Structure 1
Amino acid sequence: MTGPPSLSPREARDRYLDHRRTEASASSIKSWHYRLKHFVEWADDEGGIEDMRDLDGWTLDEYETHRRSAGVSAVTLNAEMQTFKNWLEYLARIEVVDDGLPEKVHVPGVPDGEDTNDEMLEQGDAYALIQSFRENPERRGTDKHALLELLWFTGCRVGAARSLDLRDYHSEEQYVEFRHRPGSGTPLKNDSDGERAVGLPPSVCEVLDTYVDQYRTEAHDDGRQPLFTTVQGRPAENTLRVWCYLATQPCLHELCPHGMERDTCEFVHVHHASKCPSSVSPHRVRTGSITWQRDMGLPAEVVGERVNATLEVIESYYDKATARQRLEQRRRPYIENLQLED
């Protein structure tokens, strides 16, 4: 009986991802593919690795040094090397590489404070942007306005917003229903665990109603009717990101902080919207929304259910309230419960 065959880096990567595909979400597989492709490309171009059996401790260190020299952040390098180690652990289990090889992978730590990004759409900016849309008859209910309201008031991911069908928006009952539909190209990040119904304030439903009645283009997608549409049908995630960049430009409600004139600024065009120094991505809207929902008194458990995130993730990566904000807006109301009774 022969042992396992020799595998090239590319073959080994593809086998690993195929193995994980049944137990991991599509977004996780995509992320691991992206992280491991750096090694595959390095092995082809510089490492001279044609057979995974040729890997040794020196080669692993050379690859880590290569990634460090590329200028990646500590967080990115940590994630890449951890995924690399997990991959080698799988290959060791099926005897493609030596048992001890995974332990030779150095997974660098992340300095305190570098594992999160504090950039977010601030509450005051969100209020100003939303009010500017609501008060402008030409912008109220447009696709960009509707998306911004949905992202801010639900804290959902952009992929979840894209997944919504017209039937998932319940105007009279005032909620949206996020459903996992991988078979037709709209999976949720956490698969069926990401399915949930999220309530909306009446004012948000008024905006969504205006969008549906006046601005939404009738379109079908595999027999479904997307909530957000373009003339080509359901928009791609990148299209929604561009809408978000356009919807969060401060010049919509105030003078440009960068001295530009909106009529002549290139950043107001779809191809350059992401280059605006003050606009933010859907992820930053999500971060701001989660912090705002906590500041408004919603318990962390309730926010977690609304945005489909664990308490640990919310506290570590999304909730950006300062220590003083946590005291004044969240804990001080409970101080009266600590007084001695007469």
Structure 2
Amino acid sequence: MQRVRPDATEGDGVTEAPDLSPREARDRWLDKLRVQLREQTVSTYKYRLKLFVEWCESEGYESMRDLSGWDIESYEAHRRSAEPKTISLKNEMQTLRRWFEYLASIGVVEDSLADSVIVPDVPQDHQSNDARLDHHEATALLSYYRETPAQYGTRNHVLLELAWHTGARIGGLRSLDVRDVRCHEFENERDPAYYVEFRNRPEEGTPLKNGPSASRPVALLPEVYAVVDHYLEERRPDKTDDYGRQPLLVSQRGRPSPGTIRDWMYLATLPCNYGPCPHEKEPETCDYTRYSHASKCPSSRSPHKVRTGAITWMRNRGVPVEVVAERVNASVEVIQKHYDVEDPLEEMLNRRASFVSDLSIDPEDTES
């Protein structure tokens, strides 16, 4: 229903914006964003507003016009009671404010409503990229790389896929040669076995941390193998290292140094790759997107933190601890001590799952 503005004169045709429910108002904004943003970015905004829309519906708010500053304060208190991460709450409130600013610009809500949204400050220790790569973030990143033709099978994509799905250390990733990517065909009708072979080659400059005992094959999902295969066929530069070997991951000089791989991983995990910047920066002008500055982004992750997140994710997916230990070349004791399953309910639900098929990336995980 449209209403005539109080200051409008009869017959001038000026009307107020219609009453919109919270869900309708959200969808209208998202439709507008789709014109200029990637669908993955729009999905991120949708997820951030999901809890607010559901709260409004549970509290009986049928129109955005019914909301006041007190209601926004009540919602924030409601969210804080759930004890979310400070950075998560900050992102939610920033998105809420942007949404209200848009709605105010088209007359759906009062201008003052956006001002009532208080975006919390994030303490410096919460802004550090020392935290592990969360599986929701990993899913969003890998979905972005897989669904973006210009990024599919790039070096950064291959690096992140292998680091996440194998849980390998930086030395293991650096040690891989083209010949270490394998596909084993069976004589019967069984599906092929895809895997990478980590080999300890200290005499050729690529020792593994735990020496010969670290040499092992690690199974890959077909979709992960497909990414690596595309990279080998279409994108990998034809270069060798000082020993005449063909490194899988290649720099301009051949086999990359550990520091170079670390820089690549920081670039590969920048959050603006798949969604809006959580630090209110524009990617086009942000120094964090530059090669030598990506490590300074509070939300980028080092190879070790990707490994930490991957191991925790494998455990949470119900993969037996002995299997995880073998895949990532760590002891069962270390896995149990440092990578405990966080959610007992999730642990119970996933006990029956087989380990390799559970390592698929599902884009819907970002909506969990």
Pair in the same fold by TM > 0.5: yes
Structure 2: give runs of 5+ residues left out of the alignment.
1-128, 185-192, 353-368
Q: Say whether residues 1:147 and 2:147 are aligned partners.
A: no
- Going from structure 1 to structure 2, the CA distance change for 1:333 and 1:153 (only over 3 Å counts) comes to closer
User: Normalized against structure 1, the TM-score is what?
Assistant: 0.61
Q: Which amino acid aligns with 2:133?
A: L
Deviations 1:181-220 (A, max 9, x none): 0001000000001011000001101110111111111111
Does the residue aligned with 2:218 lie in a helix, a strand or coil? strand
Alignment of 1:27-176 (within 5 A): 119-171=131-183, 173-176=193-196
- Going from structure 1 to structure 2, the CA distance change for 1:333 and 1:122 (only over 3 Å counts) comes to closer
Q: Say whether residues 1:328 and 2:342 are aligned partners.
A: no
User: 2:237 corresponds to which residue?
Assistant: 217
Does the residue aligned with 1:175 lie in a helix, a strand or coil? strand
Does the residue aligned with 1:138 lie in a helix, a strand or coil? coil
In structure 2, what is the Cα distance between the partners aligned to 1:254 and 1:309? 33
Does the residue aligned with 2:327 lie in a helix, a strand or coil? helix
User: Normalized against structure 2, the TM-score is what?
Assistant: 0.56
User: 1:177 corresponds to which residue?
Assistant: 197
Q: CA shift at 1:224, angstroms?
A: 1.1
Instruction: Please say if residues 228 and 235 of structure 1, whose CA atoms lie closer than 8 Å, have aligned partners that are also in contact.
Output: yes
| Comparing 183-192 and 227-236, the one that deviates more | 227-236
Does the residue aligned with 2:209 lie in a helix, a strand or coil? coil
Q: Which amino acid aligns with 2:323?
A: V
Q: Which amino acid aligns with 1:188?
A: L
User: 2:309 corresponds to which residue?
Assistant: 288
Structure 1: give runs of 5+ residues left out of the alignment.
1-116, 336-342
Q: Say whether residues 1:228 and 2:235 are aligned partners.
A: no
Q: CA shift at 1:230, angstroms?
A: 1.5
Identity among equivalent pairs (%):
49
Q: Say whether residues 1:243 and 2:264 are aligned partners.
A: yes
> In the comparison of the two structures, how many residue pairs are matched?
215
In structure 1, what is the Cα distance between the partners aligned to 2:143 and 2:160? 11
Q: Say whether residues 1:297 and 2:309 are aligned partners.
A: no
**Alignment root-mean-square deviation, CA:** 1.7
In structure 2, what is the Cα distance between the partners aligned to 1:271 and 1:213? 28
- Going from structure 1 to structure 2, the CA distance change for 1:300 and 1:206 (only over 3 Å counts) comes to same
User: 2:276 corresponds to which residue?
Assistant: 255
Q: Say whether residues 1:202 and 2:219 are aligned partners.
A: no
Does the residue aligned with 1:277 lie in a helix, a strand or coil? coil
Structure 1 segments, 4+ long, off by >3 Å, are 331-335
- Going from structure 1 to structure 2, the CA distance change for 1:120 and 1:320 (only over 3 Å counts) comes to farther
In structure 1, what is the Cα distance between the partners aligned to 2:332 and 2:130? 18
Deviations 1:200-255 (A, max 9, x none): 00110111011111111111120211111122101111111111101111111111
Q: CA shift at 1:168, angstroms?
A: 0.5
Q: Which amino acid aligns with 1:166?
A: V
Q: Which amino acid aligns with 1:272?
A: H
Of 292, 297, 305, which residue of structure 2 is paired with 1:276? 297
Q: CA shift at 1:148, angstroms?
A: 0.1
